[in-house]
Amino acid sequence: MRRFAHRLAFAAILGFGLTYAPLAVAGDEALADSLFQEGQAAMRRGQTSGLLADYKAACDAFTASHKVDPAPGTLINIGQCSEKQNKIGSAWSAFNGAAELALNSKPPQPERASAARAEADRLLPRVQKIQLVIKRKYDEIEVKRDGDPLPREGLAFPIIIDVGKHTIEVTAKGKKPATKEFEIKDFKAGGKAVESIELPPLLDADKPAGGGPDYPPPVVAGDGSGQRTVGIVVGAAGILALLASGGVFILANSEANKRDDFKRKFEAENCLQKPVPLTGTCKANQEGQKSHNDAAQNDQLIAIITGAGGIVLLGVGAVLFFTAPKNKTTGKPYVVPAASPGYAGAAFGFSF
C-alpha cells in the first residue's frame, strides 16, 4: 500500500504540471527520514539540557521533514517541541493537523488521530488568539503577521497566535504600507484569551513628483507572451505525464510477470490438490501471486489516470498557446484644463 501511495503521488505530480517535483521525488522519503532523525536528536538534547534552542532546532527539523513528506507522526512531534517552547497556538494547530492527516491517510490511522486530538483538547484552554480591528475600509487590503500573509476572508475572525513579540504589516491600494509591533503575554503574566489588535491607519500614497495634471496612462493590452509561456509549461507537463504513464505501464508489466512466475510455481507444486490452509512454498507462492497481482492492477490504474491527465494537459497547453493575443496598444482620450497669459480653456489629448 505504501508503494502504491508513493507511485500515485509521483504520477499525480507529473500529471498536473509541477515540473520541478520529479527531480526530488526519488529522495523525498530518505530526506524526510533524515530530517526527522535530526529532530528527534534535538528533542533528546532538549530533554537533557532544557534549552529552548534545542527544542527550536527540533521543530525546524520536523517542519522541514513534514514539508518534504507530510506525515501525522511528524506533526505530533512538531506539536510536542512547540509546546516545550510555550508556543501553545502552534502546538495546538500541529496536533489538530496530525489528527486530520491521520484520519485522511491511506489506510486511516484512527488511534493516532485520537491521540493527537486528545493532545489538542488538552491544550485548548491555553490557546490564545488575536482579533484584528479594522476601523476603516480599504481597497485590496493585505495583512501579514510575522511575514506570513493572512487570508483576506479570515480577517474578521480571531486568529490563533503564540506568546511573544509579533509584527503586523498592512498594505492597501493607493496607500502607504504600515507596520505595527505588539506582544502577546502568557496567561500567568496577564495575557488574555483574545487580544484586540487595532490595525494602524493607512496614509495616502505619495503622487509622482513633477506636478501638473495626472494624465491617464496608456492602456496596454497583454501581448500574449505570458499566456504562450503558460501554454508551453502546461504542454510540457502533459508530455511528462505521458512519459510517467509509460513508465508506470512498464512497472505494471513487470509486476504481472512476477505474478505469472508465482502462478506457475503454484501450479507446479500441485497446490490446488493440497489441503487448506496452505503452508510452506504453496502458501508463499499464493501470497506472492496475490501481492504482485494487486500491484499490477494498481500500476495499470495509475498509468491510465496519468496518461489521461497528460492528454488533457497537452490539449490545454495547445489551446493556450495558439489562442494567445498579439501585441496591441490602445489609448484613451482625455480633457485637461489649460491656461497661459491671456488665455484660459481646455486641452484635448489622446494617450498612446
pLDDT in tens, 90-143: 999 999 999 999 999 989 999 999 999 999 999 999 999 999 998 888 998 999
Cell of 183: 506582544
Q: For the chain, how many residues are written?
A: 352
Angle subtended by helix axes 280-322 and 225-268, to nearest 10: 160
Q: Which pLDDT band holds residue 7 (cuts at 50, 70, 90)? A: very low
Share of the chain above pLDDT 90, in %: 47
Which of 243, 234, 256, 257 has its CA nearest to residue 320? 234
27 pLDDT band, cuts 50/70/90, is low
Please state, in angstroms and rounded to a whole number, the distance separating the CA atoms of residues 296 and 305.
14
- The last residue of one of the domains, among 173, 206, 239, is 206
Quote the CA–CA distance of 235 and 323 in Å, as a whole number.
14
- Average pLDDT value for residue range 244-255: 85
pLDDT-wise least confident of 36-50, 127-141, 215-229, 294-308 = 215-229
Q: Are residues 246 and 180 in the same domain?
A: no
pLDDT at 17 over 90: no
- Same-domain check for residues 58 and 136: no
Per-residue confidence (pLDDT) for residue 281, from 0 to 100: 83
Say yes or no: 235 and 197 in one domain.
no
In a domain? residue 216: no
pLDDT of residue 11 exceeding 70, the answer is no
Q: Is 214 inside any structural domain?
A: no
Asked whether residue 338 is domain-assigned, the answer is: no
Whether residue 322 is found in the same domain as residue 227 = yes
pLDDT at 160: 94
Q: Do the domain assignments include residue 85?
A: yes
Q: 3-class SS at 181?
A: strand
Domain match, 110 and 197 both: no
Give how many domains the chain has, as a whole number. Answer: 3
pLDDT at 217: 55
Residue 189 is predicted with a pLDDT of 93
Shared-domain flag, residues 166 and 70: no
Looking at the fold, whether 135 and 92 belong to one and the same domain comes out as no
Q: Is residue 16 part of a domain?
A: no
Give the integer Cα–Cα distance in Å for 282 and 270: 8
End position of a domain, from candidates 78, 99, 126: 126
Q: Is 318 found in the same domain as 227?
A: yes
134 in a structural domain: yes
CA 320 vs. chain centroid, Å, equals 25
**Confidence class of residue 209 from pLDDT cuts 50, 70 and 90?**
low
For residue 336, the model assigns a pLDDT of: 47
Same-domain pairing of 60 and 149? no
Domain-located, residue 259: yes
175: DSSP letter: B
Residues 239 and 325 grouped into a single domain: yes
Domain boundary, last residue among 111, 126, 141: 126
Q: Measured between alpha carbons, how far is residue 318 from residues 14, 196, 232, 244, 255 in Å?
A: 18, 52, 8, 20, 35
Q: What is the CATH number of the domain that holds 147?
A: 2.60.40.1120
The predicted model gives 289-317 an average pLDDT of: 86
Same domain, 142 and 181: yes
Name the residue range of residue 255's domain: 222-329
Least confident of 2-6, 75-79, 309-313: 2-6
Average predicted confidence (pLDDT) for the chain: 81
Task: Decide if pLDDT at 177 tops 80.
Answer: yes
| Lowest pLDDT segment from 47-56, 90-99, 186-195, 258-267 | 258-267
Confidence of residue 296 (pLDDT cuts 50, 70, 90): confident
Residues 109 and 41 in one domain: yes
Residue 79: which CATH number?
1.25.40.10
Percent of the chain with pLDDT over 70: 80
pLDDT of residue 348: 46
**Is 51 inside any structural domain?**
yes
Q: Which three cell numbers stand for residue 332?
A: 484613451
Burial class (CB in 10 A: 0-12, 13-18, 19+), 293: middle
78-106: b or e for each residue (b if 16 or more CB lie within 10 Å)? bbbbbbbbebbbbbbbbbbbbbebbbeee
Q: Give residues with Cβ within 8 angstroms of 123, minimum separation 6.
A: 83, 88, 91, 92, 95
